[in-house]
Structures are given as C-alpha cells and as structure tokens.
Chains A and B, each alone.
Chain A
C-alpha cells in the first residue's frame, strides 16, 4: 500500500514569506503528526491531528500552524519565515492516537531552506 506522501519535497523561501506543506497519510490512518528535524535540535514534535482535531502541540511559536481535512490529509503552515525555520519537516501517520503503539509511519519529508 502507498506510504505517507509529502509535498513539496524541496523548497526555498526568503525571510518573511510563508509556506504551506502537505501530507497525505496512509489510507485508513486518521492520525497525522508533524515533526521538525534540524542538525542541532534533532526531531521535535510540532503537533498531532486526529479526526480533524488537534490532539497535542509542541513548543513552537504561533507562526507554526496546521490543520487536517476530513479525508485525513493534513497541511502545516509557517508564516513570517525566519532563517532558523530551515529544516526537514516530517509528517507521520498512524492508525490510532493512543501513544501506545509508537508505530508512526513517516514520509520522506519536505526540506525547507529559508534565505
């Protein structure tokens, strides 16, 4: 079955712009989580959506936002981009949102470069 699909894979933006990243989870998965990965901070949790509701949010400023649609596809948005937002943004999907399984299926990520 098809895996988690993230688009775009690569993008370059300038400071002050905004960006929207998209994630299509594995068919049937209702939970979508977003993570930021940087060399200095590693993988950091952004937020999780389950059945269109935000279940949890990480320690990121309000410039980072997300949403989930009725078909479980999710988008995240970063407004007023800063240089420090350059990172690999990873989306992960899961059947459940219990935190029990840990079996998150990750996409290959969207690599954002902010100039």
Chain B
C-alpha cells in the first residue's frame, strides 16, 4: 500500500537550534516528493519538489534532500516564524495530481 510516514509528530526547538524532519515513503513509481508548510487556519503552502535520489533544494533556512526511501527537511538556525506544520507528499505514475500526504510534523520554535 502506498504510504507516507513523517517523524517526529511534533518538535520543539529553541531559536537557532538546527534539526531535521523525516519523511519515509513506500510508493510504486514515484513521480515526485513534495514538502508543504501549513499554518493554523490556512491551506498548505508549497515549498519544494524533489524528483530523484540525491537531489537537494534550498530556500532560506530550509533544505530538502531525497534518497530512495526517504526525504529530510533540514532547518538551520530556525526562527519563531518557522513554526508551522510541515507536510510531506508524494505523487506516483498514473496518479496525475493525486498527492498522498503524510500526517505532518508540528514544529514549534521558541525564542
């Protein structure tokens, strides 16, 4: 069964304390892996797309990496405004725009 598992469920960091979020997946015919950020009361906001193992993408304090089984979202020197739920999702061959989402990691960054 196609599925996406994210860990940890919740993460509390001090401002400036770097860490990583994990997304492991089992899917046949992976087309792409995506990271989204969701703030309370809002819809998810697109961050990155990764297509192949070894690929990396960066945006400000965030860096996403991909292996054949999992992806990591590295957060360097986070700030309180980075607090949000981070969602990982995958698409697969024949799925068109059907995304399979993980449950997300709730990140809280405290000053």
Residues of chain B with a CB closer than 8 A to A109's CB: 43
Docked CA distance A56–B99 (Å) = 11
Residue interface mask A31-69, B partner, CB < 8 A = 1: 101010000001111001010000110100000000000
Residues of chain A with a CB closer than 8 A to B45's CB: 106
Residues of chain A with a CB closer than 8 A to B33's CB: 102
Residues of chain B with a CB closer than 8 A to A55's CB: 96-97
The 8 Å CB contact of A108, one of B41, B46, B101, B102, is: B41
Q: How many residues of B contact A (CB 8 A)?
A: 27
Contact A94 B42 (CB under 8 A): no
Residues of B at the A interface (CB closer than 8 Å) are 31-34, 41-46, 49, 51, 87, 89, 91-93, 95-104
Residues of chain A with a CB closer than 8 A to B93's CB: 99
Closest to A107 in B: B43
Residue among B41, B42, B97, B98 with the highest chain A CB neighbour number at 10 A: B97
Docked CA distance A7–B46 (Å) = 21
The verdict on A81 contacting chain B, using a C-beta distance below 8 Å, is: no
The 8 Å CB contact of A33, one of B49, B87, B97, is: B97
Docked CA distance A48–B100 (Å) = 13
In the complex, 17 of the A-B residue pairs with CB atoms within 8 angstroms, ordered by the A residue number, are A33-B97, A43-B44, A43-B99, A48-B96, A56-B98, A92-B97, A97-B96, A97-B97, A98-B97, A99-B96, A102-B33, A102-B49, A102-B89, A102-B99, A105-B46, A108-B41, A108-B42
